[in-house]
């Protein structure tokens, strides 16, 4: 059964990861691994080792991350951030709630801008089914956004879990002479394979869409608001492969490689991969190669 699942997913993801072979994530990934899936894999590893009786407890994590999506023809988004997350592990099966803070810099309209995020997450484990919900609010020097997510996790084996994720949100980005408001939604599939107690691999594929809803042009004496009711979305199919390695006690290293294709419509819109507003005279397709690198320290 394991061989059938992996044999189907690996070729399917590579078919969408390179131009004419496959395609990848539009924005710099922040890990991409669902907390409920990881929690279940850890709890099963502890069961196999005959660990001590479980007691609800708090755990903490400090993370340093760098990510980017350089384009095949130049440009591309990039971000660097520092995060702190506190998690309440409620049960041995994987029930949890968590709260996180993140601060850093990211590209907005061609220049680096500071931002901060508040992240809330929670999930339950119901046998092989582990649903979880997340909410993120981000504000910065040139942007504001809020988004929510639903992940449906399934664990068919002790070392393999499958996740279906759905996201949606709204955002507003500002430049010296304009402001662009948009909404976004997306969905995808991920697989995590814990090859050992200290190492895991992940494969994921998803499609997201960014739809511009309103454009404000700032003139010296007035602001002109232009509704964009019939604007087509920026569509971004993507795929990625990643790893997580607990190379030393309490420390882990993670990373991922991504490939994406951004399909841009005619007219004003926002490009998540470029990190800036665009105004095409004709439909345009751009390709991006993404990466993420992260170092985390966990303690209780």
For the chain, domains (ranges, CATH) are 2-299 (2.40.160.40)
Residue 216 Cα distances to 141, 172, 224, 234, 285, angstroms? 17, 11, 6, 19, 25
In the chain, the percentage of residues whose pLDDT exceeds 70 is 81
Q: 40 pLDDT exceeds 60? A: no
Q: Which is it for the CA torsion 160, 165, 171, 174, positive or negative?
A: positive
| Cα–Cα distance measured from residue 136 to residue 138, given in angstroms and rounded to the nearest whole number | 7
Residues 6 or more apart whose Cβ sits within 8 Å of residue 66: 78, 79, 80, 292, 293, 294
Mean pLDDT of 38-43: 53
Q: Cβ contacts of residue 231 below 8 Å, gap of 6+?
A: 211, 212, 213, 265, 267, 268, 269
- Cβ atoms of 121 and 35 within 8 Å: the answer is yes
Q: What is the pLDDT of residues 136-158, one digit of tens each?
A: 999 988 789 999 999 999 998 88
Kind of pairing between the strands at 251-264 and 276-280: unpaired
The arithmetic mean of pLDDT across residues 272-293, rounded, is: 89
Phi, psi of 37 (to 5 degrees): -65, -45
If you write DSSP's letter for every residue of 91-150 in order, what string do you get? Answer: -TT--EEEEEEEEEEEEETTEEEEEEEEEEEEE--BTTEEEEEEEEEEEESSEEEEEEEE
Using DSSP, state whether 232 is helix, strand or coil.
Answer: coil
Q: CA nearest 116: which of 133, 138, 132, 135?
A: 138
State the pLDDT confidence band at 5, using cuts at 50, 70 and 90: very low
Rounded Cα–Cα distance for residues 96 and 72 (Å)? 40
11 band by pLDDT with thresholds 50, 70 and 90: very low
Which residues lie closer than 8 Å to 116 by C-beta, 6 or more apart?
Answer: 101, 102, 103, 138, 139, 140
């Amino acid at each position: 059964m394991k061989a059938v699942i992996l044999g189907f997913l690996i070729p399917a993801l590579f078919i969408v990861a390179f131009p004419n072979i496959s395609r990848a994530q539009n924005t710099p990934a922040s890990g991409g691994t669902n907390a409920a899936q990881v929690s279940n894999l850890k709890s099963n590893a502890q069961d196999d080792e005959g660990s001590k009786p479980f007691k609800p407890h708090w755990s903490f994590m400090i993370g340093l991350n760098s990510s980017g999506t350089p384009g095949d023809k130049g440009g591309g988004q990039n971000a660097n951030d520092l995060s702190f997350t506190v998690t309440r592990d409620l049960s041995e099966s994987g029930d949890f709630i968590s709260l996180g803070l993140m601060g850093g810099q990211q590209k907005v309209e061609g220049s680096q801008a500071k931002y901060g995020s508040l992240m809330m997450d929670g999930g339950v484990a119901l046998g092989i089914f582990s649903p979880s919900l997340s909410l993120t609010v981000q504000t910065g020097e040139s942007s504001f956004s809020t988004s929510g997510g639903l992940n449906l996790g399934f664990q068919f084996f002790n070392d393999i879990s499958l996740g279906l994720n759905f996201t949606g949100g709204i955002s507003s980005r500002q430049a010296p002479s304009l402001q662009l408001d948009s909404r976004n939604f997306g969905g995808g599939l991920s697989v995590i394979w814990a090859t050992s107690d200290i190492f895991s691999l992940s494969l994921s594929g998803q499609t997201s869409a960014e739809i511009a809803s309103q454009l404000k042009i700032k003139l010296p004496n007035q602001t002109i608001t232009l509704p964009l009711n019939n604007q087509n979305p920026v569509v971004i199919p993507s795929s990625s492969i990643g790893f997580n390695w607990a190379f030393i006690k309490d420390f882990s290293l993670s990373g991922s490689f991504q490939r994406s294709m951004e399909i841009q419509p005619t007219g004003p819109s926002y490009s998540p991969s470029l990190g800036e507003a665009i105004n095409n005279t004709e439909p345009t397709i751009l390709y991006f190669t993404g990466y993420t690198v992260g170092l985390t320290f966990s303690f209780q």
